C-alpha cells in the first residue's frame, strides 16, 4: 500500500495527496491543522525520518497553524501551542502551557501536571515523557514545555494534534477554573476534585455530599432520576457523590469535598439501582470511583450526550411527598440548575408519533401548526 505521506530525497520535499511541503530553515515543516487528517502518524514518522537522515538533525519539527501555511513565520506568526516533532527516531507531540506560577514558588507544579495528565493520556494511548520550564522566559506568564508520546497504531496525524490540544485545555482548567464536562471528568479521574471548589452546579454538573440510600427504593429512584435528568438533557452531565454544594444568590456553588465510604460493593450497588430503575440503559454510561486509600473517596456517574432516538429515558418509580411509589413511571430532564418534568402533552405526542409511524409509516402533522 502506498504511503499517505513520503519524503522525496531528490526534491527534498514531503509529498502527500496532490500537495508537497518544503523544509524551511529555522521553522521546519509547516502544516495547517486540517491537513494532518490526510496521512497516518506512522507514515509521517517514516517521512520525517527520511528528512532527518538527509539533514542530519536530532530533531525535525512540524509546526501547526490554523492560518495560511504560506504566510507562516515562526518569528511573527501566532505560535501554535501544539507541535509534532521527530526526536531521535521517536515521534513526539510537544505542547506549551503558559502559567502565572513561578517554578520556585510552586515546586510541586510539574508533579501536579503529571498527576492530572497521566490518566488522561493513558485513556488516549499516550504517555508523558518530560515536563520542563522554558528558560528564556524570565517574567510571567511562564511557559512549560511538555513532551507526549502517543501510540501511532491506527491513527492519523491529526489525532496526535488533538491529544496535545486537549491536554492543554485540561491543564488550563486547573489554573483558570474554566471547566467543561470533559475536563471535569479528567480532573475527577486524576484525583483533583478540589479544583471544582467554587465552580457552579448547573446544566451538566450535580454534586451530592452523601451516598444515595441504595438499600431503600426511594434512594434507588432518586439516583435513577438524577441520571435521567442528564440523559434527557442536550449535553449529558456528571453526578459526583462526595462533594458538598452551597446555595448562593446566583444559584449553587461547590463548597467543599467530603469523601464518602467506598468498599468492594459500592459500584455494583449503583449499577444495580440504575439497571432496575432506568430505561433504556444510556449509551456509554460510566460509573467510576476514586478511592483515597483509607476506605473513602468519590463516586462519579458520567452520562454522555444521548441519541435523540433513545429519549425520553424513563424512571421506574417516583418519589411523591417523600415516599417512593414503585408503580409509577417518572420522566425528568435537566434545565439550568433545576429539573422539570416532561409534560403530558409532550409524552403523548411522542407516543402518538411512534404508533403512527409503526402503523402508517409516517408521522402525523401537528394539528396546531
DSSP letter at 125 equals: T
Q: What is the pLDDT of residues 228-238, one digit of tens each?
A: 999 999 889 99
Domain end point (choices 142, 176, 210): 176
Q: Which residue range(s) make up the domain with 245?
A: 197-360
If asked whether residues 169 and 206 sit together in one domain, one would say: no
If asked whether residues 138 and 263 sit together in one domain, one would say: no
If asked whether residues 72 and 151 sit together in one domain, one would say: yes
Q: What is the pLDDT of residues 49-94, one digit of tens each?
A: 999 998 777 889 999 988 888 887 766 655 689 999 999 999 999 9
The model's confidence at residue 104, banded by pLDDT at 50, 70 and 90, is very low
Identify whether 162 is part of a domain.
yes
Question: pLDDT above 90 covers what percent of the chain?
Answer: 50
Q: What is the pLDDT of residues 21-41, one digit of tens each?
A: 999 877 789 999 999 999 999
Rounded Cα gap, residues 25 and 177, in angstroms? 39
Domain end point (choices 141, 176, 211): 176
If asked whether residues 245 and 310 sit together in one domain, one would say: yes
If asked whether residues 115 and 227 sit together in one domain, one would say: no
DSSP SS3 for 36: helix
Per-residue model confidence (pLDDT) at position 203: 86
- Using an 8 Å Cβ cutoff, are 163 and 81 in contact? no
Identify whether 158 is part of a domain.
yes
> Lowest mean pLDDT: which of 6-10, 61-65, 157-161, 318-322?
318-322
DSSP H or E stretch at residue 222? helix 217-231
Identify whether 320 is part of a domain.
yes
Nearest alpha-carbon partner for 104 in 145, 136, 146, 142: 142
If asked whether residues 139 and 210 sit together in one domain, one would say: no
We report the CATH number of the domain holding residue 347 as 3.30.950
Domain end point (choices 176, 210, 239): 176
- Cell digits for 105? 514558588
Identify whether 274 is part of a domain.
yes
If asked whether residues 263 and 351 sit together in one domain, one would say: yes
If asked whether residues 238 and 322 sit together in one domain, one would say: yes
Is the N-terminal amide bond of 312 cis, ω within 30° of 0? yes
If asked whether residues 237 and 355 sit together in one domain, one would say: yes
Instruction: Quote the pTM value.
Output: 0.69
Identify whether 186 is part of a domain.
no
Identify whether 60 is part of a domain.
yes
If asked whether residues 304 and 355 sit together in one domain, one would say: yes
Rounded Cα gap, residues 80 and 85, in angstroms? 13
Identify whether 231 is part of a domain.
yes
If asked whether residues 264 and 325 sit together in one domain, one would say: yes
Identify whether 125 is part of a domain.
yes
If asked whether residues 75 and 212 sit together in one domain, one would say: no
DSSP H or E stretch at residue 60? strand 59-65
Per-residue model confidence (pLDDT) at position 267: 95
Number of independent structural domains in the chain: 2
Per-residue model confidence (pLDDT) at position 116: 85
Rounded Cα gap, residues 359 and 70, in angstroms? 59
Q: How many degrees, rounded to 5, is the angle at CA 200 between CA 195 and CA 204?
A: 95
Instruction: Examine the pLDDT at 155 and tell me if it is beyond 90.
Output: yes
What does pLDDT average to over the chain? Answer: 85
DSSP SS3 for 106: coil
Amino acid at each position: 500500500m502506498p504511503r499517505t505521506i513520503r519524503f522525496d530525497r531528490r526534491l527534498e520535499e514531503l509529498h502527500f495527496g496532490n500537495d508537497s511541503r518544503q523544509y524551511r530553515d529555522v521553522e521546519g515543516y509547516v502544516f495547517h491543522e486540517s491537513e494532518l487528517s490526510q496521512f497516518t502518524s506512522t507514515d509521517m514518522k517514516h517521512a520525517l525520518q527520511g528528512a532527518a537522515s538527509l539533514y542530519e538533525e536530532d530533531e525535525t519539527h512540524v509546526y501547526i497553524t490554523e492560518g495560511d501555511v504560506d504566510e507562516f513565520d515562526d518569528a511573527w506568526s501566532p505560535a501554535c501551542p501544539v507541535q509534532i516533532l521527530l526526536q531521535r527516531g521517536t515521534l513526539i507531540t510537544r505542547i506549551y502551557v503558559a502559567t502565572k506560577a513561578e517554578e520556585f514558588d510552586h515546586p510541586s507544579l510539574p508533579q501536579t501536571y503529571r498527576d492530572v495528565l497521566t490518566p488522561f493520556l493513558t485513556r488516549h494511548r499516550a504517555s508523558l515523557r518530560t515536563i520542563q520550564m522554558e528558560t528564556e522566559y524570565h517574567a510571567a506568564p511562564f511557559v512549560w514545555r511538555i513532551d507526549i508520546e502517543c501510540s501511532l497504531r491506527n491513527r492519523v496525524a491529526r489525532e496526535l494534534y488533538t491529544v496535545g490540544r486537549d491536554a492543554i485545555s485540561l491543564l488550563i482548567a486547573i489554573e483558570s477554573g474554566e471547566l467543561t464536562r470533559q475536563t471535569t471528568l479528567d480532573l475527577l479521574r486524576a484525583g483533583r476534585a478540589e479544583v471544582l471548589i467554587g465552580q457552579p452546579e448547573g446544566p451538566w454538573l450535580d454534586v451530592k455530599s452523601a451516598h444515595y440510600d441504595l438499600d431503600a427504593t426511594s434512594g434507588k429512584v432518586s439516583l435513577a432520576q438524577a441520571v435521567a435528568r442528564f440523559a434527557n438533557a442536550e449535553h449529558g452531565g456528571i453526578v459526583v457523590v462526595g462533594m458538598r454544594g452551597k446555595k448562593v444568590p446566583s444559584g449553587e456553588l461547590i463548597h467543599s469535598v467530603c469523601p464518602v465510604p467506598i468498599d468492594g460493593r459500592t459500584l455494583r450497588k449503583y449499577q444495580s439501582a440504575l439497571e432496575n430503575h432506568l430505561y433504556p440503559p444510556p449509551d456509554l454510561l460510566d460509573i467510576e470511583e476514586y478511592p483515597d486509600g483509607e476506605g473513602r473517596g468519590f463516586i462519579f456517574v458520567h452520562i454522555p450526550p444521548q441519541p435523540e432516538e433513545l429519549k425520553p429515558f424513563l424512571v421506574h418509580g417516583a418519589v411523591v411527598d417523600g415516599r417512593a411509589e414503585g408503580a409509577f413511571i417518572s420522566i425528568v430532564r435537566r434545565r439550568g440548575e433545576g429539573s422539570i418534568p416532561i409534560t403530558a402533552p409532550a409524552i403523548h405526542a411522542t407516543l402518538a408519533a411512534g404508533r403512527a409511524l409503526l402503523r402508517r409509516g409516517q408521522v402525523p402533522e401537528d394539528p396546531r401548526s
